Structure formats: C-alpha cells, structure tokens
Amino acid sequence: MFDAVIVGAGFAGLYMLHRLRGLGLTARVYEAGKGVGGTWYWNRYPGARCDVESMDYSYSFSDELQQEWRWSERYSAQPEILRYANHVADRFDLRKDIHFETRVTSAVFEEATARWAVETDQGDRATARFCIMATGCLSDAQIPDLKGLDSFAGKWYHTGKWPHEGVDFTGRRVGVIGTGSSAIQSIPLIAKQASHLYVFQRTPNFSMPAQNAPLDPEYERRVKESYADFRRQARESRVGFVTERSGDSALAVPAEEREREYEKRWRRGGLGFSAAYTDLLISKEANDTAARFFREKIRAIVRDSAVADLLCPQSYPLGTKRLCVDTGYYDTFNRDNVTLVDVRKTAIEAITSKGVRVDGVEYAVDDLVFATGFDAMTGALLNIDIRGRGSRKLSAEWAGGPRTYLGLTVEGFPNLFMITGPGSPSVLSNMIVSIEQHVDWIADCVSHLRERGLGTIEATAAAQEAWVQHVNEVGHMTLYPLAPSWYMGANIPGKPRVFMPYIGGVGVYRQKCDEVAAKGYEGFALGR
Ligand code: NAP
C-alpha cells in the first residue's frame, strides 16, 4: 500500500517522486527501462539532441542543482541529458523507490476502497490512493505495418529504441525511413559513416539550423545570476522559454523588413522562428511568407534542384508539424553517398530480404533505420489497461479522441493524474517547464486533500466537457489542424483526428490551473 504509484521515471516521474517524498508520502515508481531518463534513456540514435536550449531545458525546482550543473553546449546532446537525469536521481536519492525493468500493464480503480490497484508485467501488484501517469508524450515507438519486414536479412532499428551499445554504420548501406525530427538529427551523422544512405521521405519537414555551439560561459554566468527571474519569465511565456516575440503581423510589414527578420532568426537558429510575427500560425497568407523564405533557403543549400524541390515542404503550413532543428541536414543531400527517395507519390511497396522496394525499384541496404515516430500523447496511456469507476475503460472513453479536464485528470477516474496529458500545453512547450507545473499542481492538490481529510478528487463531467470544447476551439483558431501531424493523431492509422495539446500558452494555462486550485478545485468533486 502506497500513497501513490507513479508510472515512469523520466523527468516527470523523477520530480513527482521527489515532491511526494517532500510531503512525507510513500510512492513507488515503475519504469520499463533499466535506468532513469525516459525519452533520453530510449532515444540514443546518432545526433539525438534537445531542440530547447540547455539553460532552459533543465529543472528549476532546486537552486543548488541549477547552479551546480554545467551544460557544455547551447543545445545538449542526449548523453549529457541522460547524465543529468542520473545525477538528479542520485543527488535526491530517488532510485530506492523505483522498480526498473517493470512495465505497468493495468491500473484499476477499486470503488470500495477508493484505491488504485496497479499490476505489472513482472507480477507486481501495488495499491495506492493516487495513480500518477508520467508515461511521456512520445514514448510509444511506432513501426509502420510494411509488408515483408520479417524477411529483411539485415539489421533494423527504431530511433526511439536505439541499442545502448550504439551502432557502427561504417562502410554499410543504410536506409532511413522517415524525415521527422529524429531522422533530421540522425541523417547527417549516419551519412558520414555509411557507404551509401537512402532516405525514404514521405513528407518533407521545415527544419531550422540549430547554430549549436559550446555554451557561452558569459551567457551561463548571466543566466545563473538571475536564474529565478529567467525561470519566472519562462513559466509566464507562451511556450515555456523566452524568445523574442514580435507584436506585428507578418503582412503589416514591408517585404524587405520581413526578410531581414526571417534572416536574423535563421542565423540565430532554433525554435524561436515561429515567434517572428503574431499571425504566422493563424493566417495562411502570413505563414506563406515564412514558408517561402524556408524553401528559398533549402534551394540555396541543396545543389541538385530536383532534390531541393523534393525537400521543400508544400502541403502544410510551416510550424503546424513540429518544426525541426538540425545541424547540416539539408547540406547532407549534397553528398555523393546520399540518395533521397520519394515515397509520397508511390508508397513503400515492401521490405524485401535485401532492402526496400519502391515503385518496382529495390534499394539494397544492409541496415534499416525506422525514424517513424510515436503514437503520441495517448499511446503510452492506452497501452495500460486503465479502468475507472464502474470499470469504465479509458480506451473506451477516449475512442473518439482524448477527453480530459485540464490535461491532468479524466472524469470517472478519481485520483488519477496525467503529467503533460492531452489537453495541456505539453508537446507545444518546453517539456520540463510543463512537467514542473503539473507536478507542483498535483503535489499541492494531494496536500490539499490530506489537510482536509479528503480521500478523492474527480473532474466533473461539465468541467471536462467545457475544457475539451475550449481546447478544440483555440486549436481551431490556428492553422495546426491543417496538417496531418502527430499532434492530430494523423500518423497512426485509425486514430481519431483531434488536435490534442492545448495551444492557449503555458503562462495562460498555468494561471487557469492556479485559479482552479484557488477556488477550492473548481470543476472537481472532492470526496471523503
Ligand atoms: P515524426 O515526427 O512522427 O516523424 C516520423 C517520420 O516517419 C515522418 O517523416 C513520417 O512521414 C515518416 N513515416 C511514418 N510512417 C511511414 C511510412 N509508412 N512510410 C514512409 N514514411 C513514414 O517522429 P520523430 O522524428 O521521431 O519525432 C517525433 C517528435 O519527437 C518530434 O516532432 C519532436 O517533438 C520530438 N523529437 C524532438 C527532438 C528534439 O528535441 N530535437 C528530436 C527527436 C524527436 P509523414 O510525415 O508523411 O507521416
């Protein structure tokens, strides 16, 4: 019997455990991996790197931690972030409450006792007052259902489940399927090792140069001097980090000025590009000006004009599929040993014993890399058999798309919390800022219940309905629903097309959550 079971020991699970411990509560964490770190534990592909800057992408809950830890680059690479996660686990002595190599299979709310019964693939059975899902938004790796994969004689990998010992592609013919963020980061490095690299592209992406560099010690010093203020601004911002945000419409400024602004942001690099004008993600016409700028950049970098054309996104507005951040991606297509294969006009026909067949042509490869993404936001949750009151199954409740109150809770599932769940800013934000906000909110909520001798908290149907509507409404005020993205569930056959994250902004959302709490948990039923 625990006060809480936490599922997952990534950044969310680690901090949740730390907070609950601080309240004097008992918690058990179950983690499928052999170690902590979540995303950064699994995604070890070459070039894996965060696209949020290091000084932003780190915990703020401990000033000692944020002062003592030193990042080496502007954008941290996966091994460094994983070292950080391990450091946090050690520094706060978290490991003793984590059961590794243990996957939670079911979580059932027992009404008679108002407790969650959690079972794992290792045969554990634990009961707890609270069940907290820290399962990650991009953790359920997907391999497309392609004919013939069983017959492939070479080795194949998924970027999201990369072998810990690494993979040496030296002298090998490699195929990469997919051109999302994971592919865009790994392709330049794989190309340097492989004898030949085939990139199978269905949809080109917009990618910004990272302009990565060693972390400037002067910048680090300045941030550390005023870290509290830096963090406050991030929490109040739209996306969980501060970026120069213009108040102008892209259409209201002269073309030359707009180009100068885009050029400045391109040179600076990173995700801040979409903040250049207020209407880039609202007006298609405004967005077109930025998309055109990108396409010109691609054409200026890639020498073969047919290849450049294929790399130019045309079918969706810039930023409505997650913007990528790269180091040398477009330039990689100037190498003699790299071939871009279009699988948009004609889909991959089959994987054969020797390689990949497209439109009757067999591309022979020794190794295949699936950079094919994840069942985002809901996949990891729905892989667990979660049942609430009256044995209601979460999978049935969400058959038409996820329905939550604040992206934190679900009506009919008392005392179940999701960290960065659908209906919260989550994947549209700096994840660590959103994680900390949710963990703090949940910890405060649990304290509130305890202080008042209350046993349960549960979203009301009316509050959930209103929130779902609000999330939809604001989502549909933007261009996001125009893209067949994983935000919309479009990458998974049969998944309902719903814009899952909340786009109202991190600061606004935090205020809303704080107001709900301040009003005695408005929209929730509290029980004994
Ligand atoms: P992704 O963005 O979902 O990309 C998957 C790619 O695989 C897409 O290009 C997709 O094409 C392609 N694909 C899927 N099935 C296919 C098929 N049957 N045939 C051909 N192509 C197929 O996945 P991801 O690159 O792993 O990135 C997911 C998210 O993780 C990112 O958007 C980002 O939020 C996060 N991430 C972040 C970082 C970072 O911090 N730098 C790095 C990696 C990932 P379509 O587009 O046509 O579906």
pLDDT in tens, 309-324: 999 999 999 999 999 9
Which atom of ligand 1 lies nearest, measured to the CA of 372?
7
Ligand 1 pocket, mutate which of 491, 495, 497 (most atoms under 8 A from CB) = 491
Query: Could you tell me the two tokens for 165?
Result: 């010992």
Half-sphere exposure of 416 (CA within 13 A, CB side): 27
C-alpha of residue 180 to centroid of ligand 1, in Å: 4
CA 426 – CA 437 distance, rounded (Å): 10
Q: How far apart are the CA of 203 and the centre of ligand 1, in A?
A: 10
For 425-439, b where at least 16 C-beta lie within 10 A, e where not — what string? bbbbbbbbbbbbbbb
C-beta of residue 376 within 8 angstroms of C-beta of residue 487: yes
| DSSP tag of 322 | P
Task: Give the residues surrounding ligand 1 with Cβ less than 6 Å away.
Answer: 49-51, 138, 144, 159, 177-183, 185, 200, 202-203, 322, 325, 343, 348, 371-374, 427, 486, 491
Six-digit token string for 124? 């554990």
In the chain, DSSP finds a helix count (H) and a strand count (E) of 16, 20
Give the 3-state secondary structure of residue 78. helix
Residue 265 vs residues 41, 206, 293, 310, 389: alpha-carbon distances, Å: 31, 14, 11, 24, 51
10 Å CB burial of residue 256 (0-12, 13-18, 19+) is: exposed
pTM above threshold 0.85: yes
Nearest protein CA to atom 2 of ligand 1, as residue: 180
Q: Other C-beta atoms within 10 Å of 197: how many?
A: 27
Cβ atoms of 363 and 341 closer than 8 Å: yes
Instruction: Tell me how far apart the alpha carbons of residues 51 and 184 are, in angstroms, rounded to a whole number.
Output: 12
User: What pLDDT, on the 0 to 100 scale, is given for residue 108?
Assistant: 98
For position 169, what pLDDT does the model report?
98
Q: How far is ligand 1, taken at its centre, from the CA of residue 300, in Å?
A: 25
Residue nearest (by alpha carbon) to ligand 1 atom 32: 322
Q: Please state, as a whole number, how many other Cβ atoms lie within 10 Å of the Cβ of residue 364.
A: 14
Which residue, judged by its Cα, is nearest atom 35 of ligand 1? Answer: 181
Structure tokens at 234: 């991030």
The minimum-distance atom of ligand 1 relative to the CA of 325 is: 41
Say if residues 33 and 41 touch (Cβ distance below 8 Å).
yes
Say how many Å lie between the CA of residue 322 and the centre of ligand 1: 9
Task: Compute the Cα dihedral for 43, 49, 52, 56 and give only its sign.
Answer: positive
Would you say the C-alpha torsion 53, 56, 57, 62 has a positive or negative sign? Answer: positive
**Spatial distance between the Cα atoms of 424 and 410, rounded to a whole number of angstroms:** 13
Pairing of the two strands 173-177 and 196-201: parallel
Phi-psi region of 283 (alpha: psi -120 to 50; beta: other; left: phi over 0): beta
Residue 164: per-residue pLDDT: 96
Measure the CA–CA gap between 414 and 528, rounded to whole angstroms. Answer: 12
pLDDT at 460: 98
Q: List the beta bridge partners of residue 241.
A: none
How far does residue 154's CA lie from ligand 1's centre (Å)?
22
Cα 182 to averaged position of ligand 1 atoms, centre (Å): 6
pLDDT value at residue 53: 96
Would you state the pLDDT for residue 85? Answer: 98
Distance CA 259, CA 275 (A): 14
User: Which residues does 403 contact at the CB level (< 8 Å), separation at least 6?
Assistant: 397, 410, 411, 423, 464, 468
From CA 390, how far away is CA 32, in angstroms rounded?
A: 28
**Which ligand 1 atom sits nearest the alpha carbon of residue 373?**
23
Joined tokens for residue 375 = 């069942």
Nearest atom in ligand 1 to the alpha carbon of residue 490 is 48
Centroid of ligand 1 to alpha carbon of 374 (angstroms): 7
Residues in the chain where the model's pLDDT stays below 50: none
> What is the model's pLDDT at position 293?
98
Contact 251, 285 (CB under 8 A): yes
**Predicted pLDDT at 506:** 98
Q: Which of 41, 177, 181 to mutate to test the pocket of ligand 1 (most atoms within 8 A of CB)?
A: 181
